[in-house]
Amino acid sequence: MAKPIMAKATAVWLVDNTTLTFKQVADFCELHELEVQGIADGDVAAGVKGFDPISNNQLTRDEIETAEHNPKHNLRLKSYAAAIGEEKRRGPRYTPLSKRQDRPASILWLVKFHPELADSQISKLVGTTKPTIQALRERTHWNIANIQPIDPVALGLCKQTELDAAVQKASAKKAKEGGVMSDDERRKLVSTEQSLAAPQESKTPAAIAGLETFSLVDEPKEAAEPELDADSLFNLPEDSDDK
């Protein structure tokens, strides 16, 4: 059963203005029966102003009267067609106070290493606002000089599975839009497990690319010089006058 808004204040009003049993009020407001009894005795919720569930469209007078005549009847919260789905969490993720000072570092890491992520995705991952993300993207943040990028998973601001899912979603969206990704962007868009499992590619500097297949055997050989004998150097030709 759905819980009424301002449950304790609603319980105060029901105790003061109806003859419902403590159990009926406790079940409707999702409180303990002894807590409702404490409200009736003035030991609990002292100073809390009662919240009228009839004027606030949470209960009908007929529903209360039916429950007053039948102690086993459970009160039913009035249904709103427009309120369906309102129980879902909205807005950015809640971040504990102890970790809020780490958010700029994690945002800077996501902006630097995953520029394909949209601001809404970053906001959902680490629980921040779009103006903060924009300031870090443009490096206009007031403390940008002292912020070092740190992985939000290492900081405990999000799970690795959540980060991978966001990156994969950004990858699919960019591919659907026909965007051309560079090799570095394509490497960033794979999951962590895939990136770690991928073999390391050897990169050859452009200045010497293609030289690894060059062999000295293919170089043209110079004409072989005749071998010189030491004795031939000292055997000078005879002078024709001595003959």
Contacts of residue 76, defined as CB under 8 A and 6 or more positions apart, other chains included, come to 1, 63
Q: Could you report the per-residue pLDDT of 35-93, keeping only the tens digit for each?
A: 999 898 888 877 888 889 988 888 899 999 999 999 899 988 886 544 455 445 555 56
Boundary of a domain, candidates 69, 88, 110: 69
- Residue 109 shares a structural domain with residue 19: no
| Predicted TM-score of the model (pTM) | 0.40
| In a domain? residue 161 | yes
| In a domain? residue 86 | no
- Residue 155 shares a structural domain with residue 119: yes
The total number of structural domains in the chain stands at 2
Q: Over the chain, what is the mean pLDDT? A: 76
| In a domain? residue 213 | no
| In a domain? residue 240 | no
Which residue is it, tokens 């070092």? 148
Q: Could you report the per-residue pLDDT of 184-220, keeping only the tens digit for each?
A: 555 544 445 554 454 544 444 444 445 444 444 455 5
Eight-class DSSP state of 190: S
- Residue 113 shares a structural domain with residue 169: yes
- Residue 64 shares a structural domain with residue 130: no
Could you tell me the residue range of the domain that residue 177 belongs to? 97-195
- The torsion angle over the Cα atoms of residues 96, 99, 102 and 106, rounded to 10 degrees, is -60
Which two three-digit tokens encode residue 65? 């009267």
Alpha helices, DSSP H only, in 138-241?
152-155, 160-176, 183-188, 192-197, 230-234
Boundary of a domain, candidates 167, 195, 223: 195
| In a domain? residue 216 | no
| In a domain? residue 160 | yes
- Residue 13 shares a structural domain with residue 63: yes
Q: Could you report the per-residue pLDDT of 124-164, keeping only the tens digit for each?
A: 899 888 999 999 999 999 999 999 999 998 888 888 888 99
The 10 Å Cβ neighbour count of residue 120 is 12
